Structure 1
Amino acid sequence: MPFALFIAVALSAAFTAAMRRHALAHSMVDVPNERSSHANPTPRGGGVALVLVFSALSTLLAPWLGWSATALMAMLGGGAVVAGIGYLDDHGDVAARWRLMAHFVAAFVALSALAAHGGLPTVPLGSWILDLGVFGYLFAALFIVWLLNLYNFMDGIDGLAGVELVTVSGGAALLLFWQGAPISASWLLLLAACGLGFLVWNWPPAKIFMGDAGSGFLGFVLAVFALWTGGEGGIGVWAWGILLGVFLVDATWTLIRRVSLGQRFYEAHRIHAYQYASREFGAHKPVTLGVAAINIGWLLPWAALATWFPGLGGLFLVIAWAPLVFLCWWFKAGVPESA
């Protein structure tokens, strides 16, 4: 497995470099505007390399590492739909309704595979075990679609989406190893390794951006992993909610705040907490490093507690999220810049 991880990092970095050359040759460049968080024209679409490398290595390594065909369908079947519509959007605007339709189709593919595998994980609430039954699939579909979209929203400064990928998947892999689930853990380590290769080119100052194809795919895959590994012997929905806290809280708070202020929620903007923070610090790197520190030093320990004491997972999530909510309030996430 260590050799496979090294290959994943190297291939991801090499393919990202190739995508950068392709983007420059075909004028696929993000030019800064009033909604941008960057100052210089930068190639986009580098996430395609991450998608291709992770998908190819997952398929090749599946028989060796014991990954089931059902799991591959859930991750890569639906993921291909998300990456495909994202790729089209990167090359020319696709109407929001068509993107949303494709996202729900991808969620249906993943949830069909999950149903065949044994169904959705239950939710521990103190001494109770909550099983949502058929309604759980509706909530799960909404969760998948929201996470893949918010991952796109949060991919707005150099290195942030890559750092989130590496720290969340790496942290989840560590917890799964502790839980005696090395097969799922090895798959998440492969995802983290692909993210490291991409970060070689996306680390501040970024030489290429991820693009919708990459960010949507990653949000989708992490959502499916959260549902797939949330059963007995896994790490549960509370732990995943904690690990993904930075992105979940910032994106959700910002959306709710914008709607409450009468803004058009579907319009592009740059008023997430992380975007305000990057302007206040005058650079992207301090915010990206700060998110890495929060994920590893604050959220991972609480996710571990939620894994070991699942009945108290909801309480641990509230405690873990509280400072994140405060930061959103402090940086005025969702409030227009002119306010």
Structure 2
Amino acid sequence: MPEGQIALIATVALAGLVGLLGTWAMRGYALRRELLDRPNERSSHTVPTPRGGGIAIVAGFALAATGWTLASGDARAGELWLALVPPALLVACVGFVDDHRPLSARLRLLAHFVAAAWAVGMLGGLPAIPLPAGPLYLGAAGTALAIVGTVWCLNLYNFMDGIDGIAASEAVFVALAAAMLGGPGSAAFVPLLALAAASAGFLVFNWPPARIFMGDVGSGFLGLALAGLLLAQQAAGDLPIGAAIVLLGVFLSDATATLLVRLLRGDRIHEAHRSHAYQRAARRFGGHRPVTVAVIAIDLLWLLPLAWLAARFPGWSLPVAAAALGPLSALALALGAGRPDAGSDKA
């Protein structure tokens, strides 16, 4: 077997093993420290559950990405490491502290913007957007848009981490699909596989019924890491931005529809709630597992073929993304995204 393949397999195996064993170790730590998510009126779970297991994903990815960068000697890998690992670790550290002692929303958001600006700046801003009439260059406005989009991806991942297995399984899908569509020649190929492996290791303990939750340390990290890796693929011409949007379609459509409805209702959008479409579906259809499985089915049967189409025809990737997310947004609204249950506050 070629030396490069051995290094790739070892890198992915390391990420998965650290994700698995690290989650097991974090569960023991959380139980000893009583770091538990206790059910309340805004929760989607019914029993106290350890949280913070996402730190194993952080460790698995960071170790694997660092090892691959050093072993490969590829300048592109080093540049990508510098663009993503430091800001992702910043977000993870803020999330870890927040899991132990809640921080103010303003402080968290400041850290998120700093991390996003670092990642986007190191990646060179927003590349030209492929359109049917030709590439669109947005310059400084594009950089600002990319920073805001990265912060939104980071936070929507936190919003969507509300039922067992959904955030980790989505990370596995998006990372594997992006690696496959971008191809092995992409500098993001191995980091994406490592992120998928680390998330899969965590998912062993998070699959419904979950024995540990991801916590802000993991959800924020995954949001930033995925946004950065997808942006890196766009910058390198490996995967158009429309295909990346398609892959994140379930989370983007639900989180955005929920946010807009809550804004229109006059709700305080910074307050915790359980009115996302996936949360309402879990209450309607008998638990977390049917919804998580349904999301995986949507990813594989609807979004993956459309992402392939967007990647095959880059100039049409944004129209394809609109066609992919339109029905999902309509479904989220039909499920009541952003609206409280009957009899709740402001119903």
TM-score range, shorter chain: over 0.9
What displacement does 1:25 show? 0.3
Q: Within the alignment, does 1:99 sit opposite 2:108 as a pair?
A: yes
Aligned match of 2:71 = 64
- In structure 1, the residue matched to 2:232 is 228
Deviates more, 1:97-106 or 1:63-72: 63-72
Q: Which residue of 2 aligns with 1:305?
A: 309
Q: Write out aligned runs for 1:109-258 (5 A).
A: 109-115=118-124, 119-177=125-183, 181-258=185-262
8 Å Cα contact 1:271/1:336 also seen in 2: yes
- What SS class does the counterpart of residue 174 from structure 1 fall into? helix
Deviation at 1:88, TM superposition (A): 1.1
RMSD (Å) for aligned C-alpha atoms: 1.2
TM-score, normalization by structure 1: 0.96
Amino acid at match of 1:331: L
Matched letter for residue 276 of structure 1: R
Confirm or deny: 8 A CA contact 1:121 1:236 kept in the other structure: no
Distance 1:130 1:219 in 2: 26
Out of 15, 29, 32, the residue aligned to residue 22 of structure 1 is 29
Mapped to 2, the partners of 1:279 and 1:336 lie a distance apart of 12
Counterpart residue identity of residue 186, structure 1? V
Q: Which residue of structure 1 aligns with residue 48 of structure 2?
A: 41
Q: Deviations over 1:291-314 (max 9, x none)?
A: 111111110111111111111112
Q: How far apart are the structure 2 equivalents of 1:4 and 1:109?
A: 25
Q: Whole-Å Cα distance in 2 between the matches of residues 141 and 236 of structure 1?
A: 17
CA drift of 1:182 comes to 4.2
- How big is the shift at 1:226? 1.7
Cα contact 2:241–2:318 (8 A) shared by 1: no
Worse-matched range after superposition: 263-272 or 227-236? 227-236
The 3-state SS of whatever aligns with 1:165 is helix
Tell me the distance in 1 between the aligned counterparts of 2:102 and 2:310: 41
1:93, distance to aligned residue in structure 2 (A): 1.2
**Deviation of the 1:145 alpha carbon:** 0.6
Which runs of no fewer than 5 residues in structure 1 stay unpaired? Answer: none
C-alpha distance in structure 2 between counterparts of 1:7 and 1:91, whole Å:
27
Single out whichever of 305-314 and 246-255 deviates more from structure 2.
305-314
**1:158 Cα deviation after fit:** 0.2
Q: Which runs of 4+ in 1 moved over 6 A?
A: none
The answer to whether the 8 A contact 1:171-1:296 is kept is no
Q: CA deviation at 1:255?
A: 0.3
Give the whole-Å Cα distance in 1 for the aligned partners of 2:130 and 2:64: 34
Distance in 2 between residues matched to 1:134 and 1:182, nearest whole Å: 26
Give, as a single letter, the amino acid of the residue that structure 2 aligns with 1:45. Answer: G
CA distance in structure 2 between the partners assigned to 1:321 and 1:166 by the alignment: 20
Aligned-pair identity in percent equals 47
Deviations along 1:14-62, one digit per CA (max 9) or x if unpaired, are 0100000000000000110000000111000000111011101110111
**Aligned pairs, how many?**
334
**Matched position secondary structure for 1:123:** coil
2:84 alignment counterpart: 75
Match of 2:283 in 1: 279
Contact kept? 2:15, 2:63, Cα under 8 Å: no
Contact persistence 1:73–1:109 (CA under 8 A): no
Distance, in Å, in 1 between the alignment partners of 2:117 and 2:186 is 27
Cα contact 2:276–2:338 (8 A) shared by 1: yes
Q: Structure 1 residues 287-296 or 267-276, which shifts more?
A: 287-296
> Is the 8 Å Cα contact of residues 171 and 222 (structure 2) preserved in structure 1?
yes
